[in-house]
A = this chain, B = another copy of it.
């Protein structure tokens, strides 16, 4: 491992740690509640800080994790190399608001490095509204597009499509939400990695401006029992996606990961009803139509 690579690794870890601090500090002000922190160590090397806020004024459950772990590459990922070691660091979050008028949001940024020199970034963020507000969708996607365009004009269209494909609940024929960006295996030469790191920092810094104004806009809106029920049904879909398809979740479950951190993404409550269909022409149906047929949201600037 060269001096310069270690320096990138150190800077990336530092950035992700600070990102967790910035995001949780902002959310604490927004919600008026405090995160509870649990630090943990990974038996094979490294550890993390899980921060969780529950029963807040805005957030029913908000989890923001940071981790930096290292050790031997698990057997299934080795491809023949025997003494391969890895280093992985990242920050991931899922915020589930109480109100069905405020969307759930997920974001994740990570860096992975192997002792054979391979290294890459992955991540993204995506929005899961319970009711469609087109202005919100445009705001969220346009900020992501701006962060992408600064680095590569192909990033946004490519990562937006990747996001729609990744967060697809095949057995429902629906996306989990209205998307955002998703990318993985962005690596290459050391120089390319430095450029990717610059992009990852801009994308990560877009998170709060992309999401917080949406919370502020809807936080005072009233909602009915029926709207809450709809939120819980949609949270059932969130659980279905995470347990059936999400690669990170499934990898964690299969490799004896830290269960409480892995399943922190699940909502406090979820609901399943037999064949629950939204009424024709209802706001609920309007959301489902967008989940079945993803749209372009970003403003063409």
* Interface: A266 (CB within 8 A): yes
Decide if A269 touches B232 in the complex (CB within 8 Å). yes
Pair A274/B260 contact, Cβ less than 8 Å: yes
List chain B residues, Cβ under 8 A from A25. none
Q: A244-B243, A253-B244, A259-B171 are in contact. Are A236 and B271 (CB under 8 A)?
A: no
Q: Which residues of B contact A61 (CB under 8 A)?
A: 272, 274
A274 surroundings in chain B (CB, below 8 A): 50, 52, 54, 61, 63, 260, 264
Is B253 a contact partner of A275 (Cβ separation < 8 A)? no
User: Within 8 Å CB of A275, what residues of B?
Assistant: 38, 260
* A10: interface (CB < 8 Å): no
| In the assembled complex, A240 has its CB within 8 A of some CB on chain B | yes
Inter-chain contacts of A263 with B (CB < 8 A): 240, 272
Q: For the complex formed by this chain, how many copies does it contain in all?
A: 2
In the complex, chain B residues whose CB is within 8 Å of the CB of A189: none
A54 touching B239 in the complex, CB below 8 Å, given contacts A253-B171, A259-B172:
no
CA–CA, A99 and B244, complex, Å: 28
Considering residues A170, A252, A253, which has the most beta carbons from chain B within 10 angstroms of its beta carbon? A253
Please give 20 more A-B residue pairs, beta carbons under 8 A apart, in addition to A52-B274, A263-B272.
Answer: A38-B275, A54-B273, A61-B274, A63-B274, A171-B253, A171-B256, A171-B262, A236-B266, A239-B270, A240-B243, A240-B263, A244-B244, A244-B250, A244-B253, A264-B274, A268-B272, A269-B269, A269-B271, A270-B270, A270-B271
Q: Could you jot down 19 A-B contacts, CB within 8 Å?
A: A38-B275, A50-B274, A54-B273, A61-B274, A171-B253, A171-B256, A239-B243, A240-B243, A243-B243, A244-B244, A244-B253, A263-B272, A264-B274, A266-B272, A269-B269, A269-B270, A269-B271, A270-B270, A270-B272
Task: Determine the chain B residues whose CB is within 8 A of the CB of A172 once the complex forms.
Answer: 259
